[in-house]
């Protein structure tokens, strides 16, 4: 049938998976998977939020080949931006402007992060890539120092509590009142952003980004405007991570500078490399597995970063394509096993 | 005047420490074209090894310093041999090598945390009597003067090694062009390995020198690493002399801002200067080659 073509199969399977994921909270209610424990609801929301952030980093690293060790800085901008715009007693409320509803402040915080990402990319787009990594590390440190050392603005290391919960048309998405409504909000954002990411990657802009990743000089020779596309890639990546940061702030209800240290950037990169960069499901898988490891191995909290470092090193040495790359290898190996001829174009 | 001298000496101490680290960064970039983020944590490991030997096992200071240098030289050499060389042979992209060095630095930091605990340790005094030296009306500790003098000697020795000895010249040749150097009979793999070892030994020296004036803790590397990058960038990335000059500038800038303006703004000023240099003069003071199309 014409309906079941190659392209439509992918869309159908994506819709089916989305439906299954949307049923997860109901299965948790009925104790089918996990237990009816508030902690697990927060866990799946966290997975969603980290998936958004890792997908953003994937646009920069997996598709454009630029590295950034400072994405926790954009996470910070998203979180603090959204909080300062919507909090009743911090931020713009101090200036006398009435605070915005949280949904609007989330989007605006994402846009602010995108603008700052574009500004950051302007000087670094001309230089050898080492400078981009140095610049992003410095950016992360500056953001951390900025939110920690201006107590009039951000309450310093004490942090900001009482972040307003999200309410859309009277439906309350807070984690206090309803157990799994916030998960649907995060799922909605994740689905929309992933669809946007796929559209970006399969468009002319996406092909330009992939060209930059493969060989910068050749891309320049083919007419790809390096500076413009690097700035676009950085801005979109920052937008994703900013939105993730804002969602994180409104879920937990409390933020402090300790969340946005250099370690968080390294965890994002670990998630991305673990799951596989340059494809759709890789970042989500990586976020899922690493979040489970992070929460499940609480007993080994002292060893946590050591395990991450070792895992990262082993991944880089032996499997830089991550789990998703492993999956691709398996499918081609199974096909070979099933009798595809060697040298056949299909194998 | 008193505050000026103590701030100046403090700035020189910090500048020399950043200089040890940024010389390592520039050496490695010049020799192999990669950035190495492990230097700062190798500094911390060197400081810990020397502290362990000097204050717990009660060896003489010079013995513990030389042992730490040798151990870190071997660590740097092994790092290049087993990890970096394997990645280069697989033709991995630049980012993966940088990520591997970051992973190594995380492993080093957390291994130190597990072995020695999270406590902040202090070096016992290096000299018999603890009297400060008087310069004018200010008093500086003997450890600070030792740090500055030994660091300057190390820089001079490195310069002489690179320019006057046969092996140093072959290192510079391999850094300029690997193919031409191997045509001349230079074992490029060995020179790159020794470059990494020398960079690690420099970092260790910096750590052992700065630890008596500051403290020894697993966080030591993190605080120093980003600013020594700033020093390397300002001086021209890849140029050793630029690294020294840039680091001294950064160290003096930081302590003068902390002393005369406010301690909270010193980090902003340092990172701000680095970003300004990256925007307006990325080739730094000594004009390194940094444009990529």
The per-residue pLDDT for range A279-307, each reduced to its tens digit, is 888 899 899 988 888 777 666 677 877 88
pLDDT score, position A151: 77
Is the per-residue pLDDT at A238 higher than 90? yes
**CA A17, A22, A28, A31 torsion-angle sign:** negative
Phi and psi for A278 in degrees, rounded to 5?
Answer: 85, 10
* C-alpha to C-alpha distance for A13 and A11, rounded to whole angstroms: 5
Q: Which of A133, A145, A313 has its CB closest to that of B107? A: A313
* C-alpha to C-alpha distance for B47 and A101, rounded to whole angstroms: 52
pLDDT score, position A73: 93
Asked if the structure places residue B187 within a domain, the reply is yes
- Residue whose token pair is 């492990």: B38
* C-alpha to C-alpha distance for B177 and A29, rounded to whole angstroms: 65
Per-residue confidence at A11, pLDDT binned at 50, 70, 90?
Answer: confident
Q: Which of B105, B111, B145, B110 is nearest to B226 (CA)?
A: B105
Q: B216 forms bridges with which residues in the sheet?
A: B121
Q: Where are the beta strands (DSSP E) in chain A?
A: 160-161, 167-168, 171-172, 254-255
Asked if the structure places residue B8 within a domain, the reply is yes
pLDDT score, position A35: 60
| CA–CA min distance A322, chain B (Å) | 13
- Interface mutation target, options B36, B79, B83, B103, chain A, most CBs of A under 10 Å: B103
Asked if the structure places residue B269 within a domain, the reply is no
Q: Give chain A positions within 8 Å (CB) of B92.
A: 316, 320
Asked if the structure places residue B247 within a domain, the reply is no
* C-alpha to C-alpha distance for B60 and A261, rounded to whole angstroms: 38
**Helix ranges, B120-265 (H):** 142-164, 166-176, 178-183, 188-210, 220-235, 240-256
Percent of chain A beyond pLDDT 70? 86
Q: Do A317 and B100 lie within an 8 Å CB cutoff? A: yes
Q: Which domain holds residue B145?
A: 2-226
Tokens of A142: 């500056």
Q: What is the dihedral of CA B177, B181, B183, B187, to 10 degrees?
A: -130
pTM of the model: 0.86
Asked if the structure places residue B232 within a domain, the reply is no
Is residue A228 within 8 Å of A244, Cβ to Cβ?
Answer: no
Q: Give chain B positions within 8 Å (CB) of A126.
A: 282, 291-293
**Interface ipTM:** 0.84
**Helix ranges, B165-213 (H):** 166-176, 178-183, 188-210
Asked if the structure places residue B281 within a domain, the reply is no
Per-residue confidence at A71, pLDDT binned at 50, 70, 90?
Answer: very high
Kindly state whether B278 is in contact with chain A, defined as any CB-CB distance less than 8 angstroms. yes
Residues B29-66, buried b or exposed e (16+ Cβ, 10 A)? bbbbebbbbbbbbbbbbbbbbbbbbbbeeeeebeebbe
Give the pLDDT means over successive 10-residue stretches in chain B (293 positions).
82 90 89 86 90 83 88 90 85 81 89 85 73 71 84 90 88 85 88 90 90 83 84 85 90 88 81 85 75 50
Asked if the structure places residue B233 within a domain, the reply is no
Kindly state whether A123 is in contact with chain B, defined as any CB-CB distance less than 8 angstroms. yes
Kindly state whether B261 is in contact with chain A, defined as any CB-CB distance less than 8 angstroms. no
Q: Do B103 and A312 lie within an 8 Å CB cutoff? A: yes
Kindly state whether B286 is in contact with chain A, defined as any CB-CB distance less than 8 angstroms. no
Is the per-residue pLDDT at A170 higher than 60? no
Asked if the structure places residue B10 within a domain, the reply is yes
Per-residue confidence at A113, pLDDT binned at 50, 70, 90?
Answer: very high
Q: Give chain A positions within 8 Å (CB) of B267.
A: 141-142, 145
pLDDT score, position A33: 61
Count of domains forming chain B? 1
Q: B73 forms bridges with which residues in the sheet?
A: none
**A20 or B73: which leads in pLDDT:** B73
């Amino acid at each position: 049938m014409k309906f079941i073509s190659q392209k439509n199969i992918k869309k159908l399977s994506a819709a089916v998976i989305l439906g299954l994921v949307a049923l997860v909270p109901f299965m948790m209610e009925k104790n089918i998977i996990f237990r009816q424990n508030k902690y697990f609801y927060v866990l799946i929301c966290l997975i969603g939020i980290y998936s958004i952030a890792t997908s953003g980093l994937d646009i920069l690293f997996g598709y454009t080949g630029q590295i950034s060790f400072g994405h926790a800085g954009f996470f910070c901008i998203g979180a603090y931006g959204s909080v300062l715009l919507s909090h009743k007693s911090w931020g713009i409320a101090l200036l006398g402007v009435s605070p915005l509803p949280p949904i609007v402040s989330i989007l605006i915080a994402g846009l602010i992060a995108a603008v700052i990402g574009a500004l950051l990319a302007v000087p670094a787009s001309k230089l050898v890539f080492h400078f981009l990594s140095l610049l992003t590390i410095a950016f992360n440190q500056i953001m951390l120092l900025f939110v920690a050392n201006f107590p009039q603005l951000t309450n310093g290391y004490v942090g900001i509590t009482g972040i307003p919960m999200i309410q859309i048309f009277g439906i309350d998405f807070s984690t206090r009142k309803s157990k799994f409504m916030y998960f649907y909000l995060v799922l909605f954002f994740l689905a929309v952003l992933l669809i946007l990411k796929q559209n970006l990657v399969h468009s002319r802009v996406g092909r330009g980004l992939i060209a930059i990743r493969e060989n910068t000089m050749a891309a320049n020779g083919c007419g790809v405007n390096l500076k413009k596309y690097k700035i676009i890639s950085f801005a979109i990546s920052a937008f994703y991570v900013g939105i993730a940061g804002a969602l994180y702030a409104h879920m937990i209800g409390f933020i402090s500078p300790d969340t946005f240290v250099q370690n968080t950037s390294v965890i994002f990169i670990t998630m991305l490399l673990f799951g596989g960069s340059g494809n759709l499901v890789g970042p989500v898988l990586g976020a899922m597995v690493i979040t489970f490891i992070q929460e499940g191995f609480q007993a080994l909290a002292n060893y946590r970063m050591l395990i991450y470092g070792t895992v990262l090193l082993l991944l880089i040495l032996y499997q830089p394509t991550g789990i998703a790359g492993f999956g691709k290898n398996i499918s081609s190996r199974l096909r070979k096993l099933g009798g595809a001829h060697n040298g056949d174009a299909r194998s | 005047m008193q505050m000026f001298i103590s701030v100046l000496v403090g700035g020189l101490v910090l500048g020399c420490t950043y200089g040890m680290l940024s010389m390592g960064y520039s050496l490695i970039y010049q020799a192999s074209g990669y950035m190495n983020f492990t230097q700062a944590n190798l500094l911390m490991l060197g400081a810990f090894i020397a502290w362990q030997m000097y204050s717990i096992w009660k060896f003489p200071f010079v013995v513990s310093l030389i042992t730490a240098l040798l151990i870190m030289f071997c660590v740097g050499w092994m790092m290049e041999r087993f990890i970096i060389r394997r990645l280069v042979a697989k033709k991995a992209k630049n980012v993966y090598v940088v990520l591997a060095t970051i992973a190594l630095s995380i492993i080093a930091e957390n291994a130190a945390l597990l072995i020695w605990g999270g406590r902040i340790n202090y070096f016992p005094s290096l000299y018999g009597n603890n009297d400060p030296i008087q310069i004018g009306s200010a008093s500086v500790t003997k450890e600070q003067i030792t740090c500055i003098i030994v660091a300057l000697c190390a820089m001079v020795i490195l310069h002489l090694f690179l320019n006057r000895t046969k092996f140093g010249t072959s290192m510079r040749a391999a850094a300029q062009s690997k193919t031409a150097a191997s045509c001349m009979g230079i074992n490029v793999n060995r020179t790159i390995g020794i470059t990494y070892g020398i960079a690690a030994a420099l970092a260790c020296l910096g750590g052992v020198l700065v630890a008596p004036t500051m403290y020894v803790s697993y966080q030591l590397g993190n605080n120093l690493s980003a600013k020594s990058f700033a020093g390397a960038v300002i001086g021209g990335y890849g140029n050793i002399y630029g690294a020294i000059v840039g680091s001294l500038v950064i160290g003096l800038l930081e302590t003068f801002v902390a002393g005369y303006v406010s301690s909270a703004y010193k980090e902003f000023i340092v990172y701000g200067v680095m970003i300004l240099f990256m925007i307006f003069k990325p080739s730094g003071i000594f004009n390194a080659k940094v444009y990529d199309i």
